[in-house]
Structure 1
Amino acid sequence: MKLHQLRDFVAVASTGSLRAAARRLGLTQPSLSKSIQQLEKELGSALFERHARGAVLSFAGRAFLPRAETVLNELQRAASELQHLGGAGGHVNMAVSAAAALTALPEALTEFRRRYPDAAVRVVSGTFAVMFSELRAGALDFSIGPRPAVSLSEEFCVEQLFTNTRAVVCRAGHPLRHARSLGELTEARWLVPGAMGLAAAEHDQVFLGLGLPVPRSVVQCEYPTALLSLLARTDMLAIVPRQYADARPFDSFLVEIPIGETLPGAEIVLIAKAAMPLTPAAEHMLTLLRRHIEYHVTAHRGGAQP
């Protein structure tokens, strides 16, 4: 089994056709087809089902794909680490949810650049649906975000960083901005920010758990930019991670409604592959994120400030 065969297999799987994969790799279609056939012969299984419109992964292909991606990603990580040892920049690929992105990430990245000015940094959403497949394949170094609803296997290390809380927010000047309890807001129009981890059923449970009627006017909004636009320009309310209420970029148009109830949020956890050591660049980035997350958590709880 040769590395170029794994590369060719992953390219066909991701593009869905030999023609598109050959174009991406700069190969001829016959040479790519031969490479795939040789790999299938060695494995003793057909990896694709060929159709007129392209190539679809077979059952064996779907099982083999995560392994092939892991091998290629591990090689890329090894090359990045060697580049770092030789004085080059390195790479960091991470998933970060709103809780960390709105607080720790700006400061951590600023400090990171002082040591790694030329490192390639990639940040994706920390939601489970986005990060899991890439984390499993080794394309991501680590993820910081809400604890997944499903249990993860021993393939992953999961470490709790802190337990988040939520806040009710509205536009500046909203007629309900001085409300002191959630009960005063049940007749308002609400946005449910599903992309931030608050499902519609969980939104309802916030009210039901306090013995309150569930709001009737609810819009599910899973697009953060649209959510912020609607909050800023309408009289809708939303229950969001506390970091949205505290974040400097939003304080000019969003205000927190000072209700007396505490609204619990998700556990924010670090997830990484157990058997995959971090590169020096990724390790440094994670150290900085931990430091700034701890600072913001302590500051919010009224602890000592550095």
Structure 2
Amino acid sequence: MNLRQLRAFVLIAEHRSIRAAARALFVTQPAATRSLRELEQSVGAELVRRSARGVELTAYGEALYKRAVQILQETRKAQEEIGQMRDGEGGTLNLAFSSAALTVLPAALAAFRARMPRVAVAFNEVAPPYSHEQLESGRYDFLVQTEYDGDIDDGFARTPLFTLPLAVGARTGHPLRRARSLAELHDALWLLPGNIQAPANLLRLAFAAHKLPPPRDVIPCQSIAVALAIIAESDALGIFVRNLFDHSLLPRGLRMLPLAHELPAARVSILTRADSPPTPAAQCFIDCLLEALAAPARAQA
């Protein structure tokens, strides 16, 4: 088993086609097929089989695919780490951020680019569970995620940044705009990132804190921009960190409902893989985030 074979196998699995994988590898189709067959001989099992829908993974292939992605990502990180230790530059960062982190992200990015200008950075929006799978596989270097303020045992290492109160948002003319409790909002339509059934879901926790069952009419929406646009033009409601209502990202006509009681606090944390230390570039960006967070406090001191 070698990296060439694993790289070919991963691309075949993702493209569901040997021909497409060969194009991505800039090799001939027979060469990609040969790499796959060598890998199958190495592990002593059939990894893929052809079907009417293209190439599909066997049970052995599914098991190896997850490991192969991690191996290739760890290899990339090792190469970049050596390069960054040697000359302080080069490599890539693939990051995912929740909207709550927008207050510190611009300053952190500016500081990072001043320190490591040749490191390429790509941003994604946090979208559990997909973003967690990407972090676990090594495709994301780290996440900055909004979650409930409590202990979470999911195998990731956490560096808390700050906690924020939550608020319910609705359009200006919403029929429930004068509601004073979550009980009055139970039967409304909600837009929510993630899975409403997840134990750590912020909306579920908010209703549970007031001994209420979770709303029944919930549409998962993994994009905060899409959710805000829909809420601003419909009777859907959303639960957000309160500082979002002071941000320019917020559409006109979207307001915070004047509830008479507090909602559970949300925590914004940096998530990394516990078994894979950040590369120097990733650690530098994390340091820049922490410094950007501390800057307002220093200015007021």
Tell me the TM-score normalised to structure 2 length: 0.81
Aligned to 1:123: 123
CA contact (8 A) 2:232 2:251 kept: no
Alignment of 1:249-268 (within 5 A): 249-250=249-250, 252-268=252-268
Identity level (%): 34
Aligned to 1:276: 276
Matched letter for residue 30 of structure 1? P
Matched letter for residue 81 of structure 1? E
Aligned to 2:285: 285
Aligned to 2:153: 151
> How far did 1:267 drift?
3.8
CA distance in 1, matches of 2:59, 2:152: 24
Alignment RMSD (CA, Å):
3.5
Aligned to 1:99: 100
CA distance in 2, matches of 1:28, 1:4: 14
Tell me the TM-score normalised to structure 1 length: 0.80
CA distance in 2, matches of 1:215, 1:198: 9
Q: Does 1:77 align with 2:84?
A: no
> How far did 1:119 drift?
1.9
Secondary structure of 2:129 counterpart = helix
Matched letter for residue 75 of structure 2? L
CA distance in 2, matches of 1:289, 1:142: 12
CA contact (8 A) 2:192 2:238 kept: no
CA contact (8 A) 1:104 1:289 kept: yes
Matched letter for residue 270 of structure 1? I
- Give the gaps of 5 or more residues in structure 1: none
Aligned to 1:57: 57
CA distance in 1, matches of 2:132, 2:215: 33
Distance 1:4 1:213, change over 3 A: closer
> How far did 1:208 drift?
6.9
- Give the gaps of 5 or more residues in structure 2: none
> How far did 1:7 drift?
0.7
Aligned to 2:191: 193
Aligned residues: 295
Distance 1:35 1:280, change over 3 A: same
Matched letter for residue 287 of structure 2? T
Distance 1:69 1:176, change over 3 A: closer
Aligned to 1:90: 91
Alignment of 1:1-306 (within 5 A): 1-84=1-84, 85-86=86-87, 88-100=89-101, 102-147=102-147, 151-153=153-155, 156-172=156-172, 179=178, 181-182=180-181, 186=184, 190-195=188-193, 203=203, 206=206, 209-210=209-210, 220=219, 222=221, 223-234=223-234, 236-250=236-250, 252-293=252-293, 305=300
CA contact (8 A) 2:192 2:218 kept: no
CA distance in 1, matches of 2:214, 2:128: 27
Matched letter for residue 192 of structure 2? G
